[in-house]
């Protein structure tokens, strides 16, 4: 991993990224799913673009809109950043659908999925890359791993996360303590394999992707991160809990009937 540039050179690198199309394959792709994020999408893009540009390596930013009805799309278009791709959906199809579209369109050697609320700040990115450099195919940011720092997490989300972790580890035998943190890094090969087979379009897509990683014997690492419960979260813990239990059964059924044995969405990148 290249070290960060100085403040002055970081600004130059950001300006270059913002105005000059990259000619080679990106080293990194960052995918942000977005639905009605007009109040925070610009600060999020600004933070990510500044930090990622400071590495001095070619990278691309993909925002996968999920049918926003506010000014999210217009605000992004007005930025006119040449290495930012905006994927506009016909309607609201779910976060899992948006992430899949963005990841499968990514060209980077490493593909990061990051939530638009920046609950896990982009500065945590280097820890995930270190996990890939250590030989892993997927690296998951964790709020539950030893060393993680969690601020302002609501009681309902704490209860939900604890119950979810018990179910995942007990029923699915997935050795990940936090499947739902919106900050995950994949090699391009792992991204193709997993998201090419992903079927769930809503909140539980994270679990499905990690279930598939286990099914296909990929190396998965979990690293502790700093996480802040961002204001304005769209997560309804009670509603999500019901959907999650339903999707647990769906994932098991999909696997039993062989739905994950072949690609569902697109061929691998060339």
Summarised one tens digit per residue, pLDDT across range 63-116 is 999 999 999 999 999 999 999 999 999 899 999 999 999 999 999 999 999 999
- Res. 201: pLDDT tops 50: yes
Residue 262 has pLDDT above 90, yes or no: no
* Beta-ladder partners of 150: 227
Q: Tell me the sheet residues that pair with 85.
A: 62
Q: How far apart are CA 52 and CA 82, in angstroms?
A: 15
The Cα–Cα gap between 235 and 238 comes to: 9
Q: What is the pTM of this model?
A: 0.89
For 27, list phi and psi in degrees, rounded to 5.
-75, -40
179-194 confidence digits (pLDDT tens): 888 999 999 999 999 9
pLDDT at 270: 43
Q: How far apart are CA 81 and CA 21, in angstroms?
A: 9
The SS3 of residue 178 is coil
* CATH superfamily of this structure's domain 7-256: Spore Coat Polysaccharide Biosynthesis Protein SpsA; Chain A (3.90.550.10)
Q: Are 227 and 149 in contact (CB under 8 A)?
A: yes
pLDDT at 161: 59
Domain definitions of the chain by residue range: 7-256
- At residue 170 the predicted structure's pLDDT band, cuts being 50, 70 and 90, is low
What pLDDT shows up at residue 106?
98
Give the least confident one: 127-136, 184-193, 235-244: 235-244
Tokens coding 266 = 């697109």
What is the mean predicted confidence (pLDDT) over 208-235? Answer: 86
Query: Any idea what the Cα angle at residue 193 is, between residues 98 and 176, rounded to 5°?
Result: 80
Choose among 158, 206, 202: nearest CA to 180. 206
With a CB cutoff of 8 Å and minimum separation 6, the contacts of 211 are 172, 174, 251, 255
Angle at 231 between CA 245 and CA 202, to 5 degrees: 30
Q: What is the pLDDT of residue 166?
A: 64
Q: Provide the token pair at 140.
A: 């998951």
**pLDDT band at residue 241 under the 50/70/90 scheme:** confident
Q: What is the number of other CB atoms lying within 10 angstroms of the CB of residue 164?
A: 22
Structure tokens at 263: 């690609």
């Amino acid at each position: 991993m290249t070290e960060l540039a100085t403040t002055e050179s970081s600004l130059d690198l950001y300006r270059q990224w913002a105005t000059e199309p990259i000619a080679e394959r990106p080293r990194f792709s960052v995918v942000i799913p977005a639905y009605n994020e007009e109040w925070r999408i610009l600060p999020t893009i600004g933070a990510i673009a500044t930090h990622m540009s400071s590495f001095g390596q070619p990278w691309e930013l993909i925002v996968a809109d999920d049918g926003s009805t506010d000014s999210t799309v217009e605000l992004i278009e007005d930025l006119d950043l040449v290495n930012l791709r905006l994927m506009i959906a016909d309607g609201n199809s779910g976060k899992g659908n948006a992430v899949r579209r963005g990841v499968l369109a990514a060209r980077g050697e490493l593909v990061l999925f990051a939530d638009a609320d920046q609950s896990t700040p982009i500065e945590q990115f280097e820890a995930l890359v270190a996990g890939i450099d250590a030989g892993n195919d997927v690296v998951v940011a964790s709020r539950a791993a030893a060393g993680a720092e969690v601020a302002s997490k609501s009681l309902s989300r704490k209860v939900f996360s604890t119950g979810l972790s018990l179910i995942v580890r007990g029923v699915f035998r997935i050795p990940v303590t936090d499947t739902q943190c919106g900050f995950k890094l994949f090699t391009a090969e792992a991204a193709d394999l997993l998201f090419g087979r992903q079927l769930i379009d809503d909140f539980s897509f994270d679990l499905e992707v990690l279930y598939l990683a286990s099914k296909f014997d990929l190396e998965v690492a979990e690293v502790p991160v700093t996480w802040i419960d961002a204001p304005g979260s769209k997560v309804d813990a009670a509603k999500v809990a019901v959907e999650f239990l339903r999707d647990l059964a769906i994932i098991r059924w999909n696997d039993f009937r062989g739905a994950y044995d072949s690609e569902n969405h697109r061929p691998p990148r060339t």
